[in-house]
Structure 1
């Protein structure tokens, strides 16, 4: 069932979850998840709603405490990990300013706080913010209020904020959800550049869409358990219905034919 990318002898995992369990309230959500992501990999977490995808990534950044198992980031146990400037995080779609009056540039600049000391932005900060805005096609809106943005533009700003950190590890939770196709293509291009620079990426996705060519490996969750780790499985269920207009991956010809059955439905 499991197929994993070959590991280089000197390669410490960027993310390593072993036997991870977690609960939301009294409800168990993760039930012994194993997940390893190596430097430079682009890994997609797939699965139906409620399968544990978002909980898994939120546990990686410490927002959801594990009730069991082990987690390391860049070879360091989470409880001792302090180098958060190495990590960029894009949460599930929300308004970029969170109701606080702010310009696009101010929101993206806040992503530099993990790298910068308090005080006026340095030249490196300004350049990183501008580059991040250019990557997501929002440089011309830098002075605009976030309140004037569309949903897709809000998402671009959130991604630019994460990119401004210049992260070694980029974690994105449903970055394409509710975003129009034009914005999806822009965001795929921005991610393509990050991958070319060697950024490690962990994505929660419902569908691969324009990101499909970038994905090295898919990890599919069902009921809080890993049921597939390898090539993205073929979409089934509602995703295979006529009229469903998203781009989907297809399983590798060498993968067992049963891999796709029921995984994403």
Structure 2
């Protein structure tokens, strides 16, 4: 009987190194996300989480190592409609007057033929806005939104291209409870539909039930890659170290979440 094949590697980093200024931020990171997985990238502030995901999409150049997306080296990858990226919390329009629909529509450009949106494009934008609970405000200016609503617009923009992999950098940071619940519900629906997800998180929170695997970074190095570590009570305090199982006889120390 043939052995089951390993799912396709959607994101693959090997020996990744990167610097910001004169500081080494990634120190030989190996990171793989397979099709259909939901992977959390965890670690304290400054551990290299955001740099790792930004390197995966080419926003931060590597000084060493390799990145592949869907089996294609990053330098040759062009199918960006397959990738949805939500950056760390920022304003949805960068101060430029724009409506929610206009911002979300910009996420569809990678799929729009000849720059002219068709029926399928408009339907995808409507669906993305509906998913984040902002259909009744689609014509409102993003400058009138709360921080949590801005985050919902950014997620809708990423969803508009109907991506195969969704990369989200601290999607719950600084977001009100109502928006957290909507974002968690949106993500659950994407996962149920088979999406591959890489999440940078400070803590698992409401997203914990969705996580298949956790990768913990400390000082730019992978300290844990396996089942999500628990982070409750004192485990979540700054500087706390806890031993988590890595193999049957090999514990690994993970300076986890702050």
TM-score above 0.5, yes or no: yes
User: Is 1:263 aligned to residue 245 of structure 2?
Assistant: no
Pairs within 5 Å for 1:21-100: 21-100=17-96
Pairs within 5 Å for 1:167-186: 167-186=163-182
> Which has the larger strand fraction?
2
Do the aligned residues in 1 keep the contact of 2:42 with 2:215 (CA within 8 Å)? Answer: yes
Distance 1:60-1:261 versus aligned 2 partners, 3 A rule: closer
User: Is 1:152 aligned to residue 173 of structure 2?
Assistant: no
Match of 1:114 in 2: 110
Q: Aligned equivalents of 1:213 and 1:107: distance in 2?
A: 30
Do the aligned residues in 2 keep the contact of 1:17 with 1:69 (CA within 8 Å)? Answer: yes
Q: Aligned equivalents of 1:49 and 1:60: distance in 2?
A: 19
Match of 2:240 in 1: none
What is the deviation of 1:210? Answer: 1.0
DSSP-derived class of the 1:137 partner: coil
Q: Aligned equivalents of 1:76 and 1:261: distance in 2?
A: 31
Match of 2:204 in 1: 208
DSSP-derived class of the 1:219 partner: strand
**Structure 2 length-normalised TM:** 0.91
Pairs within 5 Å for 1:184-195: 184-195=180-191
- Count of matched residue pairs: 251
Distance 1:189-1:114 versus aligned 2 partners, 3 A rule: same
**Structure 1 length-normalised TM:** 0.89
Do the aligned residues in 2 keep the contact of 1:236 with 1:260 (CA within 8 Å)? Answer: no
1:121-151 deviation line (CA, Å, top 9, x unaligned):
2111110011111111011110000011000
CA RMSD after TM alignment: 2.3
Q: Aligned equivalents of 1:255 and 1:150: distance in 2?
A: 47
Do the aligned residues in 2 keep the contact of 1:236 with 1:264 (CA within 8 Å)? Answer: no
Unpaired runs of 5+ residues, structure 2, are: 238-243
DSSP-derived class of the 1:162 partner: helix
What is the deviation of 1:26? Answer: 1.3
User: Is 1:11 aligned to residue 7 of structure 2?
Assistant: yes
DSSP-derived class of the 1:107 partner: helix
Match of 2:130 in 1: 134
DSSP-derived class of the 2:109 partner: helix
